[in-house]
Structure 1
């Protein structure tokens, strides 16, 4: 049985006349009769009664008509879905992100993406950089946002966001009265730092920034999420050097001041697996790339 047989059957079932059905199908009558005979042989039942009074559906034919209609509708849906997936217009996208991306434009980028591709469902998962790398390698994520460009060869990266570091301190800290803070002002202060295990690049970057100013930070607490860092600082547990975007976190009790020293920037990279082919993911990466270019990253 072929889909051609089903189409011919349904047209004949509507017309109940071989001549009219053949004209609708743009074929001659003999090929139509042959295809109907082949279909009946395949089904193992007579689908039409043919006599001097004309053509009528049998009971089997009437039952088969419903199934044939459903089969052709499913086939058309499958073809349409395949075309849309190949074009990247529908599908499901699993995206990982570090928590600070909530203040670095990720919600806006997602709104833009969903507006352009409403048929793609995006599922977000908050993970640290290393967890995202592992998930991408194991096929558990389609794209992510991480703090490092140093990734395995199977992964590709694109710079998505760049901003300065700022000093985060408790609201009543003596340095909070200043317009800006020098890193050397933090010498001897207890530091709250992003966990070395969660993001060794960030941990080392802050250490190197302080070392360039002649001291090493006295690390008192290590957190796995940036908001946890800010929360601990807001409760008077130390000071921190954090990406500028976290000043928009609205955490009560925390104060943010620019750093007077020229420091390396805080960067976030979009990351994805180079293979296999994934049109929806590629559209997402293009959206992030365009937004970064417009922001001058």
Structure 2
């Protein structure tokens, strides 16, 4: 039995709804259901009665809840005690960055940080925005680089910088010949976009901006691997909103700016409020230098 399984169990007892519990835990509903089934299988009891319309705690579940809460409270107290230790004091700073962070950003970040904190190693972890937020709140990361809009309640944030997005199109797309593409010219085209679980607030923001500017996708296809994304666009299966590629595109694809300035990668460094050590500020400054080197700008 793992602590995270007990935490999933307790959140579900509070919500009595798998969808709401999964949202609180920053995870999809099917994995949550599977973890609860695993816990029931391990304990040999049924913890919840489930119907199509309701979820109810069983007698065995109520008994487990009495034991689970003190265990989690003790674990949280221990974690909070560890949070008071200066990040980087053990020689390692645990940091998260988005999966598609530009190489120049990482190089600048690492080089700048190393020159200022040579005795501290950055443990860089490739994570989505919501994965980082969850790990920061669980005390499993010291600092993160996330995309906005995002739920940063309880976290401190450095400056938010922006990089304008454009659209990746197949050369034969009717809008490919324009110098700047009006979003309404994409109306009806399928949209290839990252899965919503990666950054729900950003995902919703992008679709709202598209809708408000006359671009209603004919279909939405989810992808996160650049090769797969480019393959879909090249095959005529959609268009893709992203920053201008630094390494060029495969033959048959073009990138064009769009006419809506609110479509940006808006990025900042965030950290728990308990982490006020100089090493965190150094990381934030190094990350900002890396983002600016990759073409992000401060808001005007």
Identify the TM-score tier after normalising by the shorter chain: 0.5 to 0.7
Trace 1:1-297 onto structure 2 (pairs within 5 A).
91-102=91-102, 105-224=105-224, 229-244=229-244, 247-253=245-251, 254-289=253-288, 297=298
Q: SS where residue 131 of structure 2 aligns?
A: helix
State how far apart, in whole Å, the 2-side matches of 1:189 and 1:126 are.
31
| C-alpha RMSD of matched pairs (Å) | 3.0
1:206 Cα offset (Å):
1.8
Whether the 8 Å contact between 1:198 and 1:224 is mirrored in structure 2 is no
Whether the 8 Å contact between 1:95 and 1:124 is mirrored in structure 2 is yes
1:165 Cα offset (Å):
1.4
Q: Tell me, which stretches of 5 or more residues in structure 1 are unaligned?
A: 1-84
Moved more, 181-190 or 218-227: 218-227
CA offsets, 1:151-184, max 9 Å, x none?
3433112234311110111244343232221101
> How many aligned residue pairs are there?
211
1:148 Cα offset (Å):
2.1
State how far apart, in whole Å, the 1-side matches of 2:128 and 2:86 are.
31
Moved more, 122-131 or 93-102: 93-102
State how far apart, in whole Å, the 2-side matches of 1:291 and 1:249 are.
17
Change (3 A) 1:106 1:171: farther
1:276 Cα offset (Å):
4.1
State how far apart, in whole Å, the 1-side matches of 2:104 and 2:210 are.
24
Q: Which portions of structure 1, spanning 4 or more consecutive aligned residues, are displaced by more than 4 angstroms?
A: 85-90, 224-228, 289-296
Whether the 8 Å contact between 2:162 and 2:297 is mirrored in structure 1 is no
Radius of gyration: which is bigger? 1
1:233 Cα offset (Å):
2.4
Normalised TM-score (structure 1): 0.61
Normalised TM-score (structure 2): 0.60
Report the counterpart of residue 51 of structure 1 in structure 2: none
Change (3 A) 1:212 1:95: same
Moved more, 269-278 or 187-196: 269-278
Q: SS where residue 147 of structure 1 aligns?
A: strand
CA offsets, 1:195-229, max 9 Å, x none?
22211122122212222223422333112466754
Change (3 A) 1:290 1:111: closer
CA offsets, 1:217-265, max 9 Å, x none?
2333112466754453244321012233xx1144424321011344343
State how far apart, in whole Å, the 2-side matches of 1:241 and 1:267 are.
14
CA offsets, 1:110-156, max 9 Å, x none?
22111222221111111111000011111211111111254343311
Report the counterpart of residue 73 of structure 1 in structure 2: none
1:285 Cα offset (Å):
1.8
State how far apart, in whole Å, the 2-side matches of 1:270 and 1:221 are.
29
